[in-house]
Structure 1
Amino acid sequence: MTISELADHDGDAAPQLSVVIIAYNEEDRIRECIESVFDACRDVDGFEVILVDSNSTDRTVEYATEYPITVLRIPSDDLTTPSAGRYVGTHVASAERILFVDGDMELTETWLPEAMAYLAAHDDVAAVEGCLNNSTQTGISEADKLGGAMLSDAEALDEIGGFDPYLRSNEDIDVGFRLRAAGYRLVRLPEVSVIHPEDDTISEPIRRWGHGYYIGQGQILRSRLDSPTILRWQLRRQRYKLGLLAWLSAGVVSLFVAPLLLLWTLLSLLGFGIVASRRGVMRSVTILTAKTLGIAGLFIGLTRPIPPAEEYPLSAVEVVATGRTLAGPARNGEGTGDEDGSPEGETTAGDEKYAAGNRDDDAGKSVDN
Structure 2
Amino acid sequence: MTGPSVSVIIVTYESRAVLTRCLEQLKAQSFTDFEVILADNGSVDGAAKAAARADPSLVLLENGANLGFAAANNRAARVAKGRWLALLNPDAFAQPDWLARLMAATEAHSDDACFTSLQVAADDPGLLDGAGDAMTLAGLPYRMGYRRPRPQAILAGEVFSPCGAAMLVRRETFLGLGGFEARFFSYCEDVDFGYRLRAAGGRTRLVPDAVVAHVGSATLGARSDFAQFHGFRNRLWCFARNTPSVLMPLALLLHAVATAVSLIGCLARGEAGPAWKGLMAGMRGFWAMRRERSGKRGHARDVIAAMTWNPVKSARRGLDVRHDPPQ
TM-score (norm 1): 0.59
The one-letter amino acid paired with 2:43 is S
The one-letter amino acid paired with 1:139 is L
Deviation at 1:197, TM superposition (A): 1.4
Question: Cα–Cα, structure 1 residues 115 and 290, in superposed 2: closer, same or farther, change >3 Å?
Answer: farther
| Structure number with bigger Rg | 1
Deviates further, 85-94 or 115-124: 115-124
Partner of 1:62: 49
1:58-97 map, 5 Å: 58-65=45-52, 66-67=54-55, 68-77=57-66, 80-97=67-84
Partner of 1:164: 181
Partner of 1:187: 205
The one-letter amino acid paired with 2:27 is F
**Aligned mate of 1:153, from 170, 181, 188:** 170
User: 2-side partners of 1:181 and 1:37: how far apart?
Assistant: 33
The one-letter amino acid paired with 1:154 is R
User: 1-side partners of 2:158 and 2:90: how far apart?
Assistant: 26
Contact 2:95–2:211 (8 Å) recurs in 1: yes
Partner of 2:284: 303
Q: Deviations over 1:26-68 (max 9, x none)?
A: 111111111212222x323x21110101111212223321222
User: 1-side partners of 2:60 and 2:252: how far apart?
Assistant: 35
CA RMSD of aligned residues (A): 3.5
Deviates further, 95-104 or 114-123: 114-123
Deviates further, 187-196 or 284-293: 284-293
**Aligned mate of 1:229, from 238, 241, 244:** 244
Partner of 2:214: 196
User: 2-side partners of 1:142 and 1:176: how far apart?
Assistant: 12
User: 1-side partners of 2:201 and 2:162: how far apart?
Assistant: 15
Q: Deviations over 1:94-115 (max 9, x none)?
A: 1111100011211112332121
Partner of 1:131: 118
Question: Cα–Cα, structure 1 residues 21 and 211, in superposed 2: closer, same or farther, change >3 Å?
Answer: farther
1:1-369 map, 5 Å: 12-40=1-29, 42-44=30-32, 46-65=33-52, 66-67=54-55, 68-77=57-66, 80-133=67-120, 134=128, 135-136=150-151, 137-147=153-163, 148-168=165-185, 169-191=187-209, 193-198=211-216, 204-209=222-227, 212=230, 214-222=232-240, 224=241, 227-229=242-244, 242-245=257-260, 294=275, 296-304=277-285
Residue aligned with 1:132, SS? strand
Question: Cα–Cα, structure 1 residues 195 and 248, in superposed 2: closer, same or farther, change >3 Å?
Answer: closer
Deviates further, 132-141 or 83-92: 132-141
The one-letter amino acid paired with 1:182 is A
User: 1-side partners of 2:79 and 2:235: how far apart?
Assistant: 27
Contact 2:263–2:276 (8 Å) recurs in 1: no
User: 2-side partners of 1:236 and 1:53: how far apart?
Assistant: 38
Question: Matched residue pairs, number?
Answer: 252
Question: Cα–Cα, structure 1 residues 53 and 140, in superposed 2: closer, same or farther, change >3 Å?
Answer: same
User: 2-side partners of 1:193 and 1:98: how far apart?
Assistant: 17
User: 1-side partners of 2:79 and 2:283: how far apart?
Assistant: 31
Residue aligned with 2:244, SS? helix
Question: Cα–Cα, structure 1 residues 216 and 287, in superposed 2: closer, same or farther, change >3 Å?
Answer: farther
TM-score (norm 2): 0.66
Greater fraction of residues in strand: 2
User: 1-side partners of 2:227 and 2:160: how far apart?
Assistant: 26
Deviation at 1:88, TM superposition (A): 1.0
Residue aligned with 1:124, SS? coil
The one-letter amino acid paired with 2:260 is L
Deviates further, 110-119 or 296-305: 296-305
Question: Cα–Cα, structure 1 residues 228 and 122, in superposed 2: closer, same or farther, change >3 Å?
Answer: same
> Gapped runs of 5+ residues in structure 1?
1-11, 250-283, 307-369
The one-letter amino acid paired with 1:22 is V
Structure with the bigger RCO (C-alpha within 8 Å, sep 6+) is: 1
